[in-house]
Structure 1
Amino acid sequence: MAGNLIDNQGKGDVSWSWPPIHPEGRKYGLIALGVALLVLWGFGWTFIGTALLFLAVGVFAFFRDPERSVPQDERMIVSPADGLVSLITEVEPPRELQIDDGSGTAGLPSGPVTRVSIFMSVFDVHVNRAPIGGSVRRLVYIPGKFVNADLDKASEENERQHILIERSDGQKIGFTQIAGLVARRIVPFVKPGDMLGVGQRVGLIRFGSRVDVYLPAGTSPKVLLGQTVVAGETVLAEFGEQRLIEGIAQ
């Protein structure tokens, strides 16, 4: 993946900068800004126009797409989303990620695995990233409802998109982008057959949503329920490592 090489020994060159706005969101921000200026200058409605200006700023902020420092270690599975770890539970992977889809590539094996659910509020960055590097083996879109993405049933009832990535050594990770109450569109940036680097952008979900990650059997999460994670940076787990991690809410 292109970018500056940095490490934990002080190697690299970084500086603070305003996060760029993803192209997918620029048109929405400009429309909101244009309406606000029309109301302010065209109609002279100061109160409403000011409120619409704040809304335009919020739209631009929602589609921000900051750079991330992505760990380059094949043992690590990084978070595909910014947000709050809202659920950690044992489940069967989705049927769409298991069944033979005729592509000649096996899906995830059957049997319970750990699912880590990350809830994204409207204040989080909504650009999603690849948890591992490898080839996109499946991209399955399923229409559905728009119930609260924080609920467990959202994994099976809401509009969603399953993605399966396979590394060169055969290790696979499946994860699911789930639309929520406000989110009404899942926008993919990749397609089956694409080669991805770990932390590479794979898509976004507009205006509040959730991402479920299915860890391989024998792999425990390195995050806690209630923890805030950062896409492309926070390590969710290490392949094959099982270790209980406890925390204290304070």
Structure 2
Amino acid sequence: MSVSMLSTFVKPMHPEGRKFVAIFAAIALILFLIWEPLGWVGVGLTVWCYYFFRDPERVTPVREGLMVSPADGVVSLLEPAVPPAELGLGDLPLTRVSVFMNVFNCHVNRLPYAGKITRVAYRDGKFLNASLDKASSENERNGLAVQMEDGRSYGVVQIAGLVARRILCEVKEGQQLLSGERFGLIRFGSRLDIYLPEGVHPLVCIGQTMVAGETVLADMRSDEEPRSGGIR
């Protein structure tokens, strides 16, 4: 399958973005009537809005054992942490990998590893900067507990950020999903936390750029120690 030059720039848009693009476009039209230079600013913001809600196809590795990133962005935290109590994953610390999304990243979220959604848990909260550690416990969030085929479970949590004002979760308890399948979206800057199963080490480093559904986050068949990285 070939990739055209046009397809590298023009991406499908998530349905959640249609009304916002329409609003931005209407504002741009009004700004043109007021003063043409303002209208072009409105056009630029409309393009950004479309770009924010882009929903491109991704090529997910299908080898058994590979866990992929649930979000585009940068690994901002990597440390042991107790999963949110509402997920029912126990009270012992698990390795938590946090992926921070800025307002220019694609915000469609994808399931890290195939399994059954055993719990969907929403919790109201604050809207602190999503890059802060305390955002995991204090910010508005929506968590999924996912049971894998081998019986083990992991957690993935959508966390609202400083300007994020809506978490969209499109899956229900009992639903079976494949690795890399879409499960939701967070509007306007946010973060995803992944709680790895006990004994599974991350294969990513703080500061690494992640691509949802494609970047390998961990390999549950490997006994490789956590990786370290250097800026080049």
**Residue correspondence of structure 1 range 66-81 to structure 2 within 5 A:** 66-81=56-71
Contact 1:86 1:225 (8 Å CA) reproduced: yes
| Corresponding residue number in structure 2 for 1:59 | 49
**Residue correspondence of structure 1 range 204-219 to structure 2 within 5 A:** 204-219=185-200
Residue 224, structure 1, aligned to residue 216, structure 2: no
Question: How far apart are the structure 1 equivalents of 2:148 and 2:29?
Answer: 49
| Corresponding residue number in structure 1 for 2:151 | 170
Question: How far apart are the structure 2 equivalents of 1:148 and 1:159?
Answer: 11
* 1:36 equivalent among 8, 12, 28: 28
Contact 1:29 1:56 (8 Å CA) reproduced: yes
Aligned in 2, Cα 1:14/1:135: closer, same or farther, shift over 3 Å? farther
Distance apart, 1:24 and its partner CA: 0.8
Specify the code of the residue in structure 2 equivalent to 1:155: S
Question: How far apart are the structure 2 equivalents of 1:201 and 1:53?
Answer: 29
| Corresponding residue number in structure 2 for 1:117 | 98
Structure 1 runs of 4+ aligned residues shifted over 4 Å read none
Percent of matched pairs sharing the same residue: 51
- Structure 2 SS opposite 1:191: coil
Contact 1:219 1:242 (8 Å CA) reproduced: no
Question: How far apart are the structure 2 equivalents of 1:154 and 1:189?
Answer: 22
Q: Deviations over 1:89-114 (max 9, x none)?
A: 1111111112xxxxxxxxx2432211
Question: How far apart are the structure 2 equivalents of 1:128 and 1:167?
Answer: 18
Distance apart, 1:245 and its partner CA: 1.6
- Structure 2 SS opposite 1:181: coil
Specify the code of the residue in structure 1 equivalent to 2:140: E
Specify the code of the residue in structure 2 equivalent to 1:217: E
Q: How many residues align?
A: 227
Question: How far apart are the structure 2 equivalents of 1:229 and 1:125?
Answer: 11
- Structure 1 SS opposite 2:54: coil
Distance apart, 1:45 and its partner CA: 1.2
| Corresponding residue number in structure 1 for 2:81 | 91
Distance apart, 1:169 and its partner CA: 2.2
Residue 25, structure 1, aligned to residue 17, structure 2: yes
Gaps of 5+ in 1: 1-12, 99-107
Q: Deviations over 1:150-201 (max 9, x none)?
A: 0000000000001111123212120100000010000111111111111000
- Structure 1 SS opposite 2:38: helix
* 2:181 equivalent among 190, 200, 210: 200
Distance apart, 1:242 and its partner CA: 4.2
Question: How far apart are the structure 1 equivalents of 2:226 and 2:188?
Answer: 34
Question: How far apart are the structure 1 equivalents of 2:34 and 2:125?
Answer: 42
Q: Deviations over 1:113-136 (max 9, x none)?
A: 110000000010000000111111
- Structure 2 SS opposite 1:60: helix
Gaps of 5+ in 2: none
| Corresponding residue number in structure 2 for 1:15 | 3
